[in-house]
Structure 1
Amino acid sequence: MIREVKSYYLTTSRITHFILECESHNGIPIVFVHDILSSSRFFKELMQRMPPNYHCYAYDLRGFGRSQSLPLDATKGLDDFSEDLQSLIESLNLRRTHLVGWGLGGAVIMKYSINHSDRILSLTLESPISPYGLFGTKQEKGIPIFSDYSGSGIFPIARRIQNSIENRIDNNDHFSMRNFFKYITCFPEYYSIDEETENEYINEIFLIKIGDDFFPGNNKESENWPGWCPGDKGIFNAISGKYHNVEEIINLNEKPPILWIRGEEDAVISDKSLLDPIHMGISNIIEGYPGKDEYPYQPMIKQMKYVIDKYRERNGKAIIAILEHCGHAPHIEKDNWFLSVLMMFLSNSDHLILYN
């Protein structure tokens, strides 16, 4: 059965959000939080297929989709997003809820759990950003390569993406949003999204608010390779390890069960991410690369696994699911598998056995 999805705007104590909702009388609440190059729209098909006993919500983060574009203070990490989520949950009168976060959304709900674990039934982390931010760190504990976290913040590819969004580039350019979605976000060998849905996704990406306060943020130069470090505004600075570190989740007194689900072929969140500045150093696009001993790849998967293992050691329940032939968007690329794994986890995580 395909469930009806309604849309509306909701003004909370902090911001006006655009909401998608699948209603269920006295249903179990579940809130979906989207990734960077996306919006709530990317969860619509999943919400339509959720069992009828789940009351589903998805919303556009500030500066994304149709939600209000309020500035993002990067020096607070993802606090703005986290507190927006809290005000949304309060406005929806949800006492406790399941949370599903994809990419950036996974980082948001991990941050949210540190301040509001009493409001969470479970956390599903789909292809989440490393607990130690995006780029500029090394080893499983997320140690900064340089003290200023050079290499994180507004990396060159982010500027190419900005240009594609600003100019609505939808052609054969490598960094057109259509090509980025098909060949980097998704695993291209198994790509099977219909043209109408794909067009809707791309149009949603074009709604992202561009500017120093939003996407991608402001620049700051560094004396260290590769020549930049985090500024103090916007999304890519907010997810730098300088400001974003959610390792503290392992110390929660009340630990919600966690499902970490990812695609085996994820090119974005990986121990050798295609977006890592190192690729530009190796190819000499950015000169002066000091070598892998001094500036290694960020081991994003190892970093996430380290935090998950510590979470388990401290009596938290966590399950890892890895989907074959799948990239960064399992709920879209492997929708049947994703839904099956999610439902098994939400129904009875104690009995779910997956390889890790």
Structure 2
Amino acid sequence: MVETIFPGIRVQRVTTPRLTANVLEREADAEADAARTVVFVHGNVSSSLFWQPTMLDLPRGIRAIAVDLRGFGDSDPLPVDASRGVRDFSDDVASVIDELALGAVHLVGWSMGGGVAMQLLLDRPELVASLTVQSTVSPYGFGGTAVDGALLSADAAGTGGGGANPDFVARLAAGDRSDDQGSPRAVYRSSYVAPGFASEHEDVWVESMLSTRTGLDHYPGDATPSDSWPGFAPGTRGVLNTMAPTVFDTSAIVEVESKPPILWIHGAQDAIVGDASAFDLNQLGKAGIIPGWPGDDVAPAQPMLAQTRAVLDRYAAGGGAVRELELEHCGHSPHLEKPAEFRAALLELLDA
């Protein structure tokens, strides 16, 4: 049995009007400053377990908390209403912040969690003292859009729940801990981190991935037929549909009146979020992996980094402080792969 909770981390159950959330916190620090509370939000197919090394590495005097999203880790496996975009997730996080009476926090979101954090900034700006987005989903969702966020097809064909690999979903559901091709462990090694990166805690990261609830109301969600390639469009239930560009658009952060500082950290070798993502079906079609691709004129790969950069440039032009940090020899998980650089950048933001 793998021990998943690191020494120095405590687990608590926080019951809010929305759900009972599993919350990790670094053990009590008598010197902790309420104004220096950091709340970490994990990404898709993961949980708060991934944040433990980062939490433990922060200086004393900082309160460090990580929340399991619904359907991940040990939080309630409530259904995900994807017609609300990621608001089921962001409202849940806000409810935990409210229940713990944390006030404005330094919010850190990873991958899908970056989208959750941006949505929380839109809906509850008073709760966000600063925003750090790591390897974040684009402000225009995942797949199916041009650089300005415009839909490539009216129904966002090729995005949402139908884009998941059924074998991977089955392996998650079965609790596959092997290193076979297509297993969660193999996906972690090939996609979560850059080639060659090794972690002594890999078994914990696999357990975190395996905590993902699967099904139509969870991961990956449902799909609907489409007349456009590749033949499906987003559904209204489950995790992947929350990031479909028909329902997800956080570009309005540029209009938030009081703009907290934003730090954007990403790895130069990120296989998941990039201008040629290996998880973008249009990119897979272009590579010949999915047949029938109609070409760049109809179904180009999503320029994810260019989209995020453009939105953050507009945020900065509107008076917000923005820093972009791209890390070489780093994949989708800078906090694991480049912990010193991640820590330094986060502390600089907290001290600003």
DSSP 3-state at the match of 1:229: strand
Q: How many residues align?
A: 343
**What is the aligned counterpart of 2:295 among 291, 294, 310?**
291
**What is the aligned counterpart of 1:61 among 46, 58, 69?**
69
Say if 2:162 and 2:220, in contact at 8 Å, map to a contact too: no
Matched residue, 1:83: 91
Given the superposition, is the C-alpha separation of residues 329 and 305 from structure 1 closer, same or farther in structure 2, using an over 3 Å criterion? same
Is 1:142 equivalent to 2:146 in the alignment? no
Letter in 2 for 1:161: F
Letter in 2 for 1:200: V
Mapped to 2, the partners of 1:70 and 1:103 lie a distance apart of 21
Could you report, residue by residue, the CA deviation over 1:47-67 in whole angstroms, capped at 9, with x for unpaired residues? 011111111100100000110
DSSP 3-state at the match of 1:223: coil
**What is the aligned counterpart of 1:20 among 6, 24, 43?**
24
Give the alignment of 1:187-266 within 5 angstroms.
Answer: 187-189=194-196, 191-194=197-200, 197-266=201-270
Gaps of 5+ in 1: 349-356
Say if 1:3 and 1:48, in contact at 8 Å, map to a contact too: no
Could you report, residue by residue, the CA deviation over 1:197-251 in whole angstroms, capped at 9, with x for unpaired residues? 1111101211111111111101211110111110000010011111100011000
Say if 2:46 and 2:210, in contact at 8 Å, map to a contact too: no
* Percent of paired sites with the same residue: 35
Letter in 1 for 2:294: P
**What is the aligned counterpart of 1:329 among 317, 327, 333?**
333
Mapped to 2, the partners of 1:319 and 1:283 lie a distance apart of 33
Mapped to 1, the partners of 2:7 and 2:121 lie a distance apart of 29
Q: Which moved more, 1:240-249 or 1:166-175?
A: 166-175
Given the superposition, is the C-alpha separation of residues 88 and 213 from structure 1 closer, same or farther in structure 2, using an over 3 Å criterion? same
Say if 1:159 and 1:216, in contact at 8 Å, map to a contact too: no
Matched residue, 1:74: 82
Mapped to 2, the partners of 1:187 and 1:204 lie a distance apart of 19
DSSP 3-state at the match of 2:37: strand
Letter in 2 for 1:62: R
Could you report, residue by residue, the CA deviation over 1:238-281 in whole angstroms, capped at 9, with x for unpaired residues? 11111100011000001110000111111100000011112442
Could you report, residue by residue, the CA deviation over 1:170-203 in whole angstroms, capped at 9, with x for unpaired residues? 33433211111111110013x0211xx1111101
How far 1:285 moved relative to its partner? 4.4
Q: Which moved more, 1:124-133 or 1:199-208?
A: 199-208
Mapped to 1, the partners of 2:59 and 2:7 lie a distance apart of 9
Mapped to 2, the partners of 1:279 and 1:266 lie a distance apart of 14
* Structural RMSD (CA): 1.4
TM-score by length of structure 2 reads 0.94
Say if 2:109 and 2:134, in contact at 8 Å, map to a contact too: yes
**What is the aligned counterpart of 1:154 among 149, 152, 161?**
161
Is 1:282 equivalent to 2:286 in the alignment? yes
Say if 1:3 and 1:47, in contact at 8 Å, map to a contact too: no
**What is the aligned counterpart of 2:173 among 163, 166, 172?**
166
Matched residue, 1:352: none
How far 1:309 moved relative to its partner? 0.4
Mapped to 1, the partners of 2:171 and 2:292 lie a distance apart of 28
TM-score by length of structure 1 reads 0.93
